Structure 1
Amino acid sequence: MLSISPSLNIPDDEIELTAIRSQGAGGQNVNKVSSAIHLRFDVASSSLPEVFKHRLLQLNDRRISKDGVVIIKAQQFRTQEKNRLDALERLRDLVKSVTIVQAPRKPTKATKSSQRKRVDSKVQRGKTKLLRGRVIE
């Protein structure tokens, strides 16, 4: 069971983990040992609340296919167990990111004082640059 928050869990039977051969350097075992992990999680058929499913499917993330399946490939570590934990942690972070609702931004106005200071500094800067001009004798 993958725990996202105290009230939100994903059962193990909804997460498909497959061991595959890793790319890159691996020494003698590179063609023999399947140390990379391929994680598949079908969002539509999961037990997540509908709100989180909708938010996950709306994400513009390359790990989520058009069919609504989260695909994570973990091959950073040399051992299968570490890669499995890494893949599950990345899935947890992805799901946790949609559980947090951002408060809508409240547009603010610049104060009169700040506007005046900005214009005054521009005028001062212009005067300084004017003094750098050619000296007329």
Structure 2
Amino acid sequence: MKEDTLIQELAFKAIRSSGSGGQHVNKVSSKIELTFNLKDSQALSELQKLRIEEKLKNKLTNDGVLVLQCGETRSQHKNKAIIIQRFLELIKASLVVSKKRIPTKVPKSVIKKRLKNKRQLADKKANRRKPDIQ
């Protein structure tokens, strides 16, 4: 995966930011919306696309487009840099293959210890009861 070619495939749109900021918010489009079409990407292999699609299925649209937004700062350029960094981290994290967990057998000593503690607890509680006098 080449970051340069991946960044070239991104589409940006500046939109008006919401929230506090007074008149500045009403007249300046500082919020950045990043869109990335995963299915049409040339920078990723088919295997990488499948892996990303599986990991990011909740963030993708029905058309396979990833949409991210950033309106943290009042500067459009800073927001663009932040959203590109976030996008690259998201893609890298989704391409990481997790190790398959190998289930291990529980040792006999652990089973014996658990049963011994269980027996001790049962005896302790049995000693708290009132004796049966008949």
What TM-score does the superposition give when structure 1 sets the normalisation length? 0.84
Query: Percent sequence identity over matched residues?
Result: 35
Equivalent residue for 2:29? 34
What TM-score does the superposition give when structure 2 sets the normalisation length? 0.86
Greater C-alpha Rg: 2
Specify the SS of the correspondent of 1:30: helix
2:40 is aligned with 1:45: yes
Consecutive aligned runs of 4 or more in structure 1 exceeding 3 Å deviation:
134-137
Listed as ranges, the gaps of 5+ residues in structure 1 are 1-6
Equivalent residue for 1:3? none
Equivalent residue for 2:14? 19
**Amino acid of the residue matched to residue 63 of structure 1?**
K
Matched positions, count? 131
**Amino acid of the residue matched to residue 80 of structure 2?**
R
| Distance of 2:57 and 2:21 partners within structure 1 | 29
Give the superposed CA RMSD: 1.9
| Distance of 1:82 and 1:134 partners within structure 2 | 74
Deviates more, 1:20-29 or 1:58-67: 58-67
Equivalent residue for 1:116? 112
From the two aligned structures, give the one with the greater helix fraction. 2
From the two aligned structures, give the one with the greater strand fraction. 1
| Distance of 1:123 and 1:45 partners within structure 2 | 63
| Distance of 2:84 and 2:49 partners within structure 1 | 18
